[in-house]
Chains A and B, each alone.
Chain A
Amino acid sequence: MRHFEERARLRGFKCIAGCDEAGRGPLAGPVVAAAVIFSDDYVNAAIQDSKKLTPLKRERLFTVIEKTALSIGIGIVEPAVIDRINILRASLLAMEKAVLTLSSPPDYILIDGINTIDVPVAQESIIRGDSLSISIAAASIIAKVSRDHIMDDYHARYPLYNFIKNKGYGTREHREAIKSHGRCKIHRKSFKVTL
């Protein structure tokens, strides 16, 4: 899990951030990205791809990462913006914001996926990076849990869709709720409802 970080360090980079995003797929809510910087010697075998963790484990690791990381940045892009640009660009924008929000600017970024982002920092994208790099895995956990919390808050405002359970993803229950109650303010316009 530290291979990519070590390799960047050997190339002379000193402050390496991992970056990932959550919420590309759902029908509602924002896309949330996170960037995480750990110290050189940081080890934590529990940190892995957020998709392989249970919600409870993610919550616990969220707290651990918050306490132990050198710096954490978050970027949120709202549904209206996702509709105005598109989900790919919106998720890149969220990642750019996450990186720019870091309290100490990185000199190298490891990014999950195939895209690079428009910030003036050396970077590399890694396919399945969330299961290969500890920094990206940590970023995926921070992004996922932060987004879940936002959706829990939205549940209080728009209780008809059970966002607390589906987090905006297109479960059968969620799609049926849209069919009977229509869309709410945080639904993305860029999808069609099919049952």
Chain B
Amino acid sequence: MAAAKSTENPSKSHCNTRQAGTRGEDCALRFLKKKGYRIIERNYRCVFGEIDIIANHQGAIVFIEVKSRTSDRFGYPEEAVGKVKQKKISRIAVNYLGERKLDDSNARFDVVAIHFSPGKERVELIKDAFDFVL
């Protein structure tokens, strides 16, 4: 009774999403460091969920969601952070700021969108992508 393993033979266009995610985050980290972001946390977890990257940029605490895409089938990466996800990230941010006693600091939400196409990657930074949604 062999359970069908969907990961066994992925077609090329369906490249493992988890793999693309990690690769995307590494790529985003390099990009952000180059742009002058000081990385504080990677994969910060709390009861409200997980956020990819937390960084310090020009005196503000920045919560960064990384969006990786291997195809445009599900839309462009910068469209990928919907209202529900915005609320989720906002709650994680509020929790983090409270936990670290950083309530008074400036905070914003950035999205790093990475588009993978054969042989190259396109990185895009959307500063202040959305507001606190709570």
Task: Show the binding face of A for B, using Cβ within 8 Å.
Answer: 76-81, 84-85, 89, 93, 96-97, 100-101, 118
Contacts and interface: CB of A to CB of B under 8 A. Distances in A.
Interface in B89-112: 91, 94-95, 97-98, 103-104
Q: Determine the interface band of chain B, counting residues with CB < 8 A from chain A.
A: 10 to 19
B103 A100 contact: no
Given A78-B98, A81-B97, A101-B47, A93 B91 contact: yes
B48 A77 contact: no
A101 to B, nearest CB: 5
Contacts, number: 31
Contacts of B87: 118
B107 to A, nearest CB: 9
Nearest to A99: B47
11 contacts: A78-B103, A80-B97, A80-B103, A85-B134, A89-B134, A93-B94, A96-B91, A97-B95, A100-B48, A101-B47, A118-B87
Nearest to B95: A97
A111 B12 CA distance: 49
A93 B48 CA distance: 10
Interface of B: 47-48, 87, 91, 94-95, 97-98, 103-104, 132, 134
Which secondary structure dominates where chain A touches chain B? helix
A81 B47 contact: no
Given A79-B103, A80-B97, 7 more contacts: A77-B98, A85-B94, A85-B134, A93-B91, A96-B48, A97-B95, A118-B87
Given A101-B47, A118-B87, A76 B134 contact: no
A136 to B, nearest CB: 21
A50 B91 CA distance: 28
Contacts of A97: 47-48, 95
Contacts of A93: 91, 94, 134
B98 A76 contact: yes
Contacts of A100: 47-48
A78 B104 CA distance: 10
B82 to A, nearest CB: 14
A170 B75 CA distance: 52
A63 B91 CA distance: 30
